[in-house]
Amino acid sequence: MQKSNDTNSIISALLEARESRWNTKLSLVKYGWHLVSLQLNVPGYPKSSECSEQFMRLIENEFERYLICRAIGKYKKEKKKAKDAAGEWIAFLVPEANMGAQELKDLTEAFEESHEYGRLIDLDVLDSKGKAISSGKAKRCFICDESAAFCRNSRTHTIEEVRKNMFHKMETYNELCYDAELVSSVSKYALKAMMYEVALSPKPGLVCRASQGCHTDMDYRTFMDSMVAISPFFQDIAQLAIEHKGNDLSNVLPDIREIGLLMEAAMTKATFGVNTHKGAIFLLAISVFAAIRVIKKKKGVFKSNLFSSVVQQITRGVIQRELCSLKESSSLSHGEVCFMKYGLQGAGARGEAEQGFPTVMHHALPFMKEHFNDQFNKLTDKELANQLIPLLLKIIANNNDTNVLFRHDKTILETLKQKATMAMEAFQRGETSIYTELVAWCNENKISPGGSADLLAISLFVHFCQTDTTVL
């Protein structure tokens, strides 16, 4: 008895919703508008869920873009949204003077047919006189290939089967769109982090907007060319992270490195052989992969502790495998030579990654939390530089930079770290002269803390993941 009462109340709520929708539509078209209504035909009850609402938002945006581009100057961006017992529905309004109702119907038909998930949606057209415009074409069932009307009338599929199939498809599409957005966003953070790093001026010994630092073979434009060449590959790494199944990350580093090698080749080609970003490529490639894993796992939220742990999982054993077994040879990289000479202190980018970016986690991030204004876009260029310079100094003061160790020695590294600490403290008091002296000292003595510059980029990348991940 209770059940039939519930069923009756659902049926009456649905009937009421349908009548109210119809009246709303008629009241809208009387102003001289044709109306396209977008809805889902979900059988059974309830008619909507978080999943279906997200799906509707995606289709709504896609259909509106579609309409704007195919009815340029005719579609006036008028729409009304409503939600009732029959689900969510959206009315797009097109002035009758601008377009014929049949032309509008043809557009909606073409949209349904061209969209991979078009069978899940219904786009109905009502002309400005309140008359429903029919295409005369039979719509396909989205489970089998029969006509939708045939399956409905012959009850080929149970309501449960249809609902399950429909919600599964919507969920798949929602996730597909979410992943695409995630790939795009995280790749952009990587590029943005590199750009902010190199643009920061002046920097001690490093290439920046205003100077080549202590370098003679590269300048700001070399970095621009290199960033343009390597940035598309961040999307490939992000996609690799999206497609990685399971929780075991012990075997992903070779896959990341394969893309990393393509990036190095693109960099070398763009810079005519100058190494602008080798360290940054290694660190950012791992970071992009790790960030995607974290944001996916935490359903849109970036957690820096988890990020650090994922970086460790990806790079576990890399020092043992790649550095401990080295033998003296003329073909060793800078990082490898440093490790042979200084042990763990000279483990460089590999060491930093295998420990989950300790300089970033224990020094840069707490510093940023204490001193940074989160919204970079509200800062002027000068104000931003005033935040980033002390951050770079904090990193230099705490990092065993293998670029410095390789070109100089431990004494110079320690002197640089001390000078950076003093310059940072003075800079925060508003005294910039010690920083200016440090910049000159590095430029004159050809001291270029490139490893610290890379860690500044990683710190910025993490910052962007934390503050900009809003749409995800």
Which residues here bind Zn ion, judged by CB under 5 A?
141, 143-144, 146, 151, 156
How many CB atoms neighbour CB 358 within 10 A? 15
State the alpha helices, DSSP H only, in 140-252: 148-154, 159-199, 220-230, 232-243
State the alpha helices, DSSP H only, in 231-277: 232-243, 253-271
Nearer CB in complex with Zn ion: 26/144: 144
Q: How far is the CB of 152 from Zn ion (least distance, A)?
A: 8
**Residue type at 428 in one-letter notation:** Q
Q: Are 400 and 450 in contact (CB under 8 A)?
A: no
Q: How far is the CB of 154 from Zn ion (least distance, A)?
A: 9
Q: Are 253 and 353 in contact (CB under 8 A)?
A: no
Nearer CB in complex with Zn ion: 68/143: 143
Q: How far is the CB of 139 from Zn ion (least distance, A)?
A: 11
Nearer CB in complex with Zn ion: 162/190: 162
Q: Are 470 and 191 in contact (CB under 8 A)?
A: no
Render 275-287 in DSSP notation, one character per residue.
-SSHHHHHHHHHH
Residue 38: beta bridge partners? 90, 123
Nearer CB in complex with Zn ion: 54/156: 156
Angle formed at CA 50 by CA 44 and CA 52, multiple of 5 degrees: 55
Nearer CB in complex with Zn ion: 144/261: 144
Q: How far is the CB of 298 from Zn ion (least distance, A)?
A: 38
Task: Give the full edge-to-edge strand order of the sheet including 33-40.
Answer: 78-84, 87-95, 33-40, 121-126, 132-133
Angle formed at CA 35 by CA 33 and CA 36, multiple of 5 degrees: 155
Take residue 22 and report the two structure tokens written for it: 């119809």
Nearer CB in complex with Zn ion: 159/324: 159
Q: In Å, what is the CA distance from 385 to each residue of 391, 427, 436?
A: 10, 11, 14
* Nearest by Cα to 218 from 277, 146, 157, 178: 277
Residue 124: beta bridge partners? 37
Nearer CB in complex with Zn ion: 99/143: 143
Q: How far is the CB of 124 from Zn ion (least distance, A)?
A: 21
Q: How far is the CB of 11 from Zn ion (least distance, A)?
A: 24
Q: How far is the CB of 312 from Zn ion (least distance, A)?
A: 50
Nearer CB in complex with Zn ion: 141/290: 141
Q: How far is the CB of 146 from Zn ion (least distance, A)?
A: 5
Nearer CB in complex with Zn ion: 4/154: 154
**CA quadruple 409, 392, 298, 181: dihedral sign:** negative
Nearer CB in complex with Zn ion: 116/145: 145
Q: How far is the CB of 138 from Zn ion (least distance, A)?
A: 12
* Nearest by Cα to 169 from 117, 121, 115, 114: 117
Q: How far is the CB of 169 from Zn ion (least distance, A)?
A: 14
How many CB atoms neighbour CB 85 within 10 A? 19
Angle formed at CA 423 by CA 420 and CA 428, multiple of 5 degrees: 125
Q: Are 47 and 163 in contact (CB under 8 A)?
A: no
Q: In Å, what is the CA distance from 200 to each residue of 121, 197, 207, 287, 392?
A: 50, 6, 9, 21, 10
Nearer CB in complex with Zn ion: 122/146: 146
- Separation between Cα atoms, residue 41 and residue 458, nearest integer Å: 47
Q: How far is the CB of 44 from Zn ion (least distance, A)?
A: 16
Nearer CB in complex with Zn ion: 151/285: 151
Which residue is closest to Zn ion by CB? 141
CA 233 to chain centroid: 14
Q: How far is the CB of 9 from Zn ion (least distance, A)?
A: 30
